[in-house]
Amino acid sequence: MMLKLYNTLTRRIENFEPINPPKVGIYSCGPTVYDYTHIGHLRKYVGDDILRRILEINGYEVKHVMNITDVGHLVSDEDAGEDKMEKGARESGKSVWEAAKFFEDYFWKSVETVNTKRPNIVAKATEHIKEQIKLIHRLEKNGFIYQTTHAIYFDISKFADYSKLSGQKLEEKEIGAREDVFVDKQKKNPQDFALWFFTVGHFKDHTMRWPSPWGEGFPGWHIECSAMSMEYLGDSFDIHTGGIDHIPVHHPNEIAQSEGASGKPFVKYWVHHNFLIVDGEKMSKSKKNFYKIDEIVKKGFDPLALRYLFLTAHWRDKLNFTWKSLEAAQNALDNLREIIRDWDELKIGCAQYEQDFMEALNNDLNTPQALAVLWDMVKSDYPSSAKAKSILEMDKVLGLKLEEYLGKKIEVPAEVQKLVNQREQARKSGDFKKSDELRKKIKKLGYGIEDTPEGPRIKATSSHS
Ligand code: AMP
Ligand code: ZN
């Protein structure tokens, strides 16, 4: 069974054939740590995690590298305006270094709640200044750079294949230069991008700064990803991921820098995750339509219900976030947990379902289809001992921590059992007001009741339901 994956570079679903099997190198564009991580970001990092787990379950040895952007990412893509880190520090009343640490910690806390595996290597831009300077040197030797008063730029007119990823002609490329932000008038082409900014003029007060052969300053955003991915994965590697917002600018810039320096193909498969949206618009800080994981938890949801919700959509489709959809995901997950609590010990698995499950995932990471297979199996007549073995296998990819529920029948405290018995009495005698009140009391203690023909069934509940 071969893994098939959509590649933005070729605009096709392709057979996945790594450069150096069984090794697979993945580089994921990570967060800019100037503000809180929101659940839109989490969709992207869960997407990366699913991809990694699918590669692993296929037997590949994955080396997953992710960057932390803590310098040089300017507010506008056209290398204008101020560094997001300086802005974040100003707005949060912290120093740039404190802000970077604070928001990075928040990022890790957030991604851990949705059970993503830590990348094997986490690379911070500020800890790889030497590597970035080395790469700019290689580009200088190959004739791709020029210098203005404010910065060193990559001259994209010298790189013939600039449009191969985005498919956009240069003249179609949006130039969003706004009047309220700084624009370097000495740039040759508006789309040229900065590799190194000098701490002069517009950037004279920039806090983070390092010496370089061209003058004191700080690196541009794009160069960090080329420098660090090539440092840890080599000049050519297998998979590069990011959000679809990186298709027009950030990733073409990475390709230009890396291939301009090495003369070799940079990345074989480009994976771009679609967005989490709200009312038709991307969830983002600037639109103020975002939620943080704390807000999800405060409303009584389990972060893993959010992970479940992400799994219900294909990674290349938009996913519209609503509280109703999160509630449906929480209910589905609660249901699944309840069902598997009663399952017997593991024996031999359900081969056919496991195969269908893998087929769905290997078909361009089709997680909604994989979930459908899981539910078909759960509802099937197979012995629960067989289903138990298979569901744990499936959960290696889904990451819903089902092992914490499998076969763990709930021990109902005597106090709760007493209330359940009283409620049953009340119900039988037609006192529905009292029975409702008792149900509420039981819920407060963390339990739910389902009335079945065999009598009341007690469930552990999450507090939102
Ligand atoms: P940022 O820190 O804003 O640069 O975003 C980090 C990553 O999260 C990028 O790859 C973005 O594409 C991705 N991202 C940001 N907002 C969303 C969203 N609403 N849905 C999915 N991914 C997002
Ligand atoms: Zn990047």
413 upstream amide cis, omega within 30 of 0: no
Co-location of 137 and 205 in the same domain? yes
Ligand 1 pocket test: which of 35, 41, 306 has the largest number of ligand atoms within 8 Å of its C-beta? 41
Distance 404 CA to ligand 1 centre (A): 31
Cα–Cα distance for residue pair 93/87, rounded to 1 Å: 10
Q: Which of 245, 272, 309 to probe ligand 1 with, by most ligand atoms within 8 A of CB?
A: 245
Do residues 28 and 126 both lie within one domain?
Answer: yes
Do residues 72 and 199 share a domain?
yes
| Closest ligand to residue 240's CA | 2
For residue 326, give both structure tokens.
């999160």
Domain presence at residue 347 = yes
Polymer length in residues for the chain: 465
**Are residues 244 and 117 located together in one domain of the fold?**
yes
Annotated binding residue 225: yes
Q: Is the CB of 284 under 6 A from ligand 1?
A: yes
Sheet containing 281-282, strands listed edge to edge, beginning at the edge strand earlier in sequence? 281-282, 276-278, 319-320
Q: Does 111 fall in a domain?
A: yes
Q: What is the pLDDT of residues 190-204, one digit of tens each?
A: 889 999 999 998 889
Per-residue pLDDT tens digits of the chain, which is 465 residues long: 899 999 999 999 999 999 999 999 999 999 999 899 999 999 999 999 999 999 999 999 999 999 999 987 877 655 556 788 888 888 888 888 899 999 999 999 999 999 999 999 999 999 999 999 999 999 999 999 999 999 999 999 999 999 999 998 776 665 544 444 567 889 998 889 999 999 998 889 888 999 999 999 999 999 999 999 999 999 999 999 999 999 999 999 999 999 999 999 999 999 999 999 998 899 988 788 999 999 999 999 999 999 999 999 999 999 999 999 999 999 999 999 999 999 988 888 899 999 999 999 999 999 999 999 999 999 999 999 999 999 999 999 999 999 999 999 888 889 999 999 999 999 989 999 999 999 999 988 888 888 877 788 888 776 554
Cβ–ligand 1 contact at 32 (below 6 Å): yes
Tell whether ligand 1 has an atom less than 6 A from the beta carbon of residue 29: yes
Same domain, 84 and 185: yes
Pick from 404, 432, 450: which residue ends a domain?
Answer: 404
Tell me how far the alpha carbon of residue 30 lies from the centroid of ligand 2, in angstroms.
7
Distance, CA 270 to ligand 2 centroid (Å)? Answer: 12
Residue 304 lies in a domain: yes
Q: Please check whether residue 2 lies inside any domain of the structure.
A: no
On whether 254 is known to bind a ligand per the annotation, the reply is yes
pLDDT of residue 173: 61
Q: How many angstroms is it from 40 CA to the middle of ligand 1?
A: 6
Residue 301, domain extent: 277-404
Residue 376 exposure: Cα atoms within 13 Å on the Cβ side: 13
pLDDT at residue 449, as a whole number: 87
Do 438 and 347 reside in the same domain of the chain? no
Same domain? For 377 and 429 the reply is: no
Does ligand 1 come within 6 angstroms of the Cβ of 88? no
Residue 89: predicted pLDDT: 85
Give the residue whose CA is nearest to atom 21 of ligand 1. Answer: 275
Is the same domain home to 381 and 430? Answer: no
Residue 382 alpha carbon to ligand 2 centre in Å: 46
Same domain for 235 and 316, yes or no, is: no
* Residue 350, annotated as binding a ligand: no
Closest CA to 242 of 267, 262, 278: 267
Q: Is 403 annotated as a binding residue?
A: no
User: Ligand 1 center to residue 281 CA distance, Å?
Assistant: 13
Evaluate whether residue 243 is within a structural domain. Answer: yes
- Contact (CB, 8 A) for 283 and 208: no
Residue 3 covered by a domain:
no
The answer to whether residues 60 and 172 belong to one domain is yes
Q: Could you tell me the distance, in angstroms and rounded to a whole number, from the CA of residue 273 to the centre of ligand 1?
A: 9
* Ligand 1 centroid, distance to 243 Cα (angstroms): 6
Look at residues 213, 243, 273 and tell me which one is the last residue of a structural domain. Answer: 273
| Angle at which helices 250-262 and 221-233 cross, to 10° | 50
What pLDDT is recorded for position 74? 79
Q: Is 285 annotated as a binding residue?
A: yes
Indicate if 303 and 393 belong to the same structural domain: yes
Q: Which has the closest alpha carbon to 99: 200, 208, 202? A: 208
Does ligand 1 lie within 6 Å of residue 44's CB atom? yes
Report which ligand 1 atom has the smallest distance to the Cα of 29: 10
Q: Which ligand is nearest to the CA of 228?
A: 2
Boundary of a domain, candidates 356, 381, 404: 404
Tell me, using a 6 A CB cutoff, whether residue 242 lines ligand 1.
yes
Task: Please tell me if the CB atom of residue 282 comes closer than 6 angstroms to any atom of ligand 1.
Answer: yes
Atom of ligand 1 at shortest range from CA of 32:
2
Distance CA 374, CA 332 (A): 12
pLDDT at 88: 84
409 occurs within a structural domain: no
The answer to whether residue 209 is domain-embedded is yes
The set of residues, in sequence order, having a beta carbon less than 8 Å from that of 221 and lying 6+ positions away, is 32, 69, 72, 73, 74, 250
Ligand nearest to the CA of 226: 2
Q: What pLDDT does 185 receive? A: 86
Domain count, the chain: 3
Distance CA 426, CA 6 (A): 58
pLDDT at site 455:
80
Q: Which ligand is nearest to the CA of 31?
A: 1
CATH of residue 343: 1.20.120
Q: Which ligand is nearest to the CA of 271?
A: 1
Provide the pLDDT for residue 1: 80
Whole-number pLDDT of residue 465: 46
Q: Are residues 102 and 125 in the same domain?
A: yes
Give the residues across from 145 on adjacent strands.
Answer: 154
Q: What is the CATH number of the domain that holds 110?
A: 3.40.50.620
